[in-house]
Amino acid sequence: METVERLPFVIDKFRDAVHALVGTRSGVIDTDTGQRRVVGDSLYQTMRDSVAGLVRDTTGSKGWRSTPPLWLDAEQWIDDVDREVRTWHHDGTGPDHATVNRLHALAELGFRPQDAQWLKDATRFLWSWVAKADNLLDGDTKHKFDLVVACPACSARYTYVIDSGGERKRQAALQVDSSGCVCAECETYWDPSRFGLLAAALGCELPEGVLE
């Protein structure tokens, strides 16, 4: 009964996560006549653009800004998202828009109580992708920390990643900043409201500045 009663809440959380990844985003830019609100590309589209070395600047009036050419981190992110979403929903039109179409189609589906756990798992995937994309796009503008402890979800302490130069390197599995904590090994995501619970599970204190 509890699952039935909470299903609308779980569905809403899933749809919010879908929108965060593939929905259009709005922001405020500075112009000669003052500030105005504009609608920009989705986070997913911004990551696709970044692979080509160019990203629209939605935080100011500079138009476009450059990113590393053939950005391997972004390319790997897109591949991870596309591959996982393909297992969720097989319909999609065109190689460039299939993931977006699949996620929008999923968000409009009717779900049953027995789908609740899948929705929760999918929502965690979506938010982990959002957090990772934000970190990649923001570069060093956020304070990021390695938590060298075992992930509560998968027990991994370290994971191996391919950096922008194509080199394989070891890093702490748990990566945390002000937008959330994500396990790079299993992709479990904790939003800032759950930092206290995460810290308790890990038996450690929150790094200074994480919630600032």
Convert the chain into a string of H (helix), E (strand) and C (coil): CHHHHHHHHHHHHHHHHHHHHHCCEEEEEEECCEEEEEEECCHHHHHHHHHCCEEECCCCCCCEEECCCCCHHHHHHHHHHHHHHHHHCCCCCCCCCHHHHHHHHHHCCCCCHHHHHHHHHHHHHHHHHHHHHHHHHHHHHCCCEEECCCCCCCCCCEEEEECCCCCEEEEECEEEECCEEEECCCCCEECHHHHHHHHHHHCCCCCCCCCC
pLDDT tens digits, one per residue of 129-173:
998 888 888 764 455 677 888 998 899 999 887 655 567 778 888
Q: State whether 65 and 36 are in the same domain.
A: yes
Q: State whether 22 and 97 are in the same domain.
A: yes
Q: State whether 150 and 129 are in the same domain.
A: no
Q: State whether 89 and 131 are in the same domain.
A: yes
Residue 207 DSSP SS3: coil
Q: Which of 90, 122, 138 is the last residue before a domain boundary?
A: 138
The two beta strands, 34-40 and 54-56, are unpaired
Residue 2 lies in a domain: no
Whole-structure pTM value: 0.60
Residue 209 lies in a domain: no
pLDDT tens digits, one per residue of 46-56:
888 877 655 44
Q: State whether 122 and 149 are in the same domain.
A: no
Q: Which of 138, 159, 191 is the last residue before a domain boundary?
A: 138
Q: What pLDDT score was predicted for residue 29?
A: 58
pLDDT tens digits, one per residue of 164-211:
556 777 888 888 777 778 888 887 888 877 877 887 787 766 555 544
Q: Which of 138, 157, 189 is the last residue before a domain boundary?
A: 138
Q: What angle do CA 87, 192, 83 make, to 5 degrees?
A: 15
Q: State whether 130 and 154 are in the same domain.
A: no
Q: Which residues does 139 contact at the CB level (< 8 Å), separation at least 6?
A: none
Count of domains for the chain = 2
Which domain covers residue 180, as residue numbers?
A: 145-202
Q: State whether 86 and 174 are in the same domain.
A: no
